[in-house]
Amino acid sequence: MSPVAENKWVKVDQKGAGPGPRSSHAIAVVGNKVYCFGGELKPTIPIDNDLYVFDLETQEWSLAPATGDAPFPCFGVSMVTIGSTIYVYGGRDASRKYNGLYAYETLTNKWESLSPVEEGLPGRSYHSMAADDRKVYVFGGVTAKGRVNTLHAFDVVDRRWVEYPAAGEACKGRGAPGLAVVQGKMWVLFGFDGTELDDIHCFDLARGEWTAVETAGEVPSARSVFPAVSFGKYIVIYGGEEDPHELMHMGAGKFCGEVYKLDTETLVWEKLLDGTEEDKPSPRGWCAFAVAVINGKEGLLVHGGNSPTNERLDDFVFLGFSS
């Protein structure tokens, strides 16, 4: 892989037997390892429940020697990292059976079921997750009863769920919004409620208050199923579905391939110039993403997703952040 430049996409070479083409899956990063779980190759048919591991130094895939109680094969799943532990929540199978909350300890390569759906948070798919140093946050998603706008957190120390005040009518129940924690505030960006949404909401974790946020600058269009990550005071988003297909999840809608950055202090968006058209990855949505460090540079790592042709992708691309 070539040296990482700021605000420019680079392709990450892959060796070994990896996850292959898929969408609606998730990745998480622990140190120099990327873990990949879940997903679909054909709509609504989960592929497997293997845990794939990618070494960012050797650029080689392998299967994790996982033991313990693992989640079943699913799609529409999310996962985050706290320390050396990966937390996987939600996702469903073809019969709309949902996974609960699981932990995978990378030091021991062992899965553990932390909160079954029968005992904890109601199951869902196409929700969004974020984490700080103690809590795993879950917002929105599609449950058996429809799309929700609730915010919960699982305290990994106390091992219990915390429910926050409801977002209210201004923030509709939605699937696949962007979610990021920035300086003690939870940001909910866009999403899908039957149509693509263009609103932004912010929850102050200390005050317990929701605020509808108006932004300026080069404001992105309404979208869902897109990567959203925090970097200092910024939120960076990429791609996503701007218009759904008439067959909804069974088809590929109109996808975006641009990168935007929101300054959460000035509330101004900036569209990033991320290289020439030849360098940029193809437009996509439903992809897996995480923040990673490659060659000493922090940035957005994206794997796979769905393409405008409805063919699932299997590439690995990385965008280094500028400070």
Catalytic residue among 92, 124, 223, 284: 92
Q: Which residue has the tokens 């108006």?
A: 214
d(CA 258, CA 203): 26
Q: Is 134 a catalytic residue?
A: no
> At CA 254, angle to CA 306 and CA 251, rounded to 5?
55
Alpha-carbon span 23 to 46, nearest angstrom: 10
Distance separating the N- and C-terminal Cα atoms of the chain = 22
C-alpha to C-alpha distance for 171 and 209, rounded to whole angstroms:
13
Q: Is the dihedral angle over the CA atoms 14, 19, 23, 25 positive or is it negative?
A: negative
CA separation for the pair 256, 241 (Å, rounded): 6
Q: What does residue 180 show for φ and ψ, rounded to 5 degrees?
A: -150, 145
Question: Catalytic residue at 312?
Answer: no
What secondary structure does DSSP assign to 70-96, as a single string?
A: PPPS-BS-EEEEETTEEEEE--B-TT-
Of 148, 71, 75, residue with least CA distance to 116? 71
Q: Which residue type sits at 117?
A: V
Q: Which position among 147, 174, 223, 284 bears the catalytic label?
A: 147
Q: How far apart are CA 67 and CA 100, in angstroms?
A: 18
Residue type (1 letter), 246: E
d(CA 140, CA 69): 26
Do the Cβ atoms of 177 and 190 come closer than 8 Å?
Answer: yes
Distances (CA, A) of 90 to 122, 193, 205: 9, 19, 23
Q: Which one, of 162, 124, 92, 130, lies nearest residue 229 by Cα? A: 130
Two tokens, residue 318: 């990385």
Which residues carry out catalysis? 92, 147
